[in-house]
């Protein structure tokens, strides 16, 4: 399914490869492609006037022109730094929220992700205090350490 976070070109190419392997004609592609769209993407298709699409190439060109501006740009480091653990937010919720956003980034290094997630945990909280005593050097190491604090937090709830 295409969401506004995915790359438009990759979505179309994967769709073309899959339909080529199955021998799907271009006119049929135009009819089934909207089923691969989610979020706001299908709306543009249903607003098209009849006979607007005369070929697969026209369809793809319209798809790009309509949805390029609506796409959600990939998350960059400054966007990750903006993800803060809010007061009273369980550590597990914060880590999950952060990692979902970090997974959308293709350019942020592991060191950048580690810096962003550790910078925004609750100051003076148990994990924050622990990280000041013993540094972690990778996101995986941070997640393992955070898990040690998530389990007791969940048990207390």
Whether 32 is covered by a domain: the verdict is: yes
Q: Could you say which of 16, 40, 67 is where a domain stops? A: 67
Taking the chain (157 residues) in consecutive chunks of 10 residues, what is each chunk's mean pLDDT?
65 88 89 77 72 84 71 68 86 90 81 88 86 92 93 85
Q: Of 145, 152, 155, nearest to 121 (Cα)?
A: 145
88 in the Ramachandran plot: left (φ > 0), alpha (ψ -120 to 50) or beta?
left
| Burial readout 117-143 (b: 16 or more C-beta within 10 A, e: otherwise) | bbebbbeeeebeeebeeeebeebeebe
Residue 36 lies in a domain: yes
Structural domains of the chain, count: 2
Give a yes or no: residue 3 inside a domain. Answer: no
pLDDT at 1: 67
* DSSP conformation class of 76: -
Is the domain of 152 the same as that of 86?
yes
Same structural domain for residues 88 and 56?
no
* 36/3 Cα distance (integer angstroms): 9
Question: Which token pair is 92?
Answer: 């597990």
Q: Are residues 100 and 55 in the same domain?
A: no
Same domain, 58 and 109: no
Q: What is the CATH classification number for the domain harbouring 82?
A: 1.10.1200
In a domain, 2, yes or no: no
pLDDT recorded at residue 137: 93
Domain that includes residue 23, residue range: 8-67
Burial class (CB in 10 A: 0-12, 13-18, 19+), 108: buried
The pLDDT value given to residue 71: 57
What pLDDT was estimated at residue 68? 63
Q: Is residue 57 located within the same domain as residue 117?
A: no
CA distance 105 to 113: 10
Q: 0.85 cut: is pTM over it?
A: no
Q: Do 34 and 87 fall into the same domain?
A: no
The neighbouring-strand residues paired with 2 are: 37
| Claim to verify: residue 105 and residue 63 sit in the same structural domain | no
Q: Check residue 130 and give its pLDDT.
A: 92
CB neighbours of 53 closer than 8 A, spacing ≥ 6?
30, 59, 62
Would you state the structure tokens that stand for residue 19, as one six-digit string?
Answer: 């339909």
Residue 37, classed as helix, strand or coil, is strand
Same domain, yes or no: 62 and 100: no
């Amino acid at each position: 399914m295409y969401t506004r976070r995915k790359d438009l070109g990759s979505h179309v190419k994967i769709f073309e490869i899959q339909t080529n392997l199955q021998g799907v004609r271009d006119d049929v592609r135009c009819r089934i492609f909207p089923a691969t769209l989610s979020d706001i993407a299908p709306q543009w298709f249903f607003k098209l006037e009849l006979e607007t699409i005369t070929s697969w190439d026209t369809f793809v060109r319209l798809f790009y022109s309509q949805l390029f501006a609506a796409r959600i740009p990939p998350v960059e480091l400054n966007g990750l730094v903006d993800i803060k653990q809010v007061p009273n937010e369980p550590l597990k919720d914060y880590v999950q929220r952060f990692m979902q956003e970090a997974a959308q980034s293709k350019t942020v290094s592991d060191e950048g992700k580690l810096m962003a997630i550790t910078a925004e945990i609750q100051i003076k909280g148990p994990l924050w205090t622990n990280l000041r005593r013993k540094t972690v050097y990778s996101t995986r190491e941070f997640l393992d350490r955070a898990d040690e604090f998530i389990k007791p937090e969940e048990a207390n709830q």
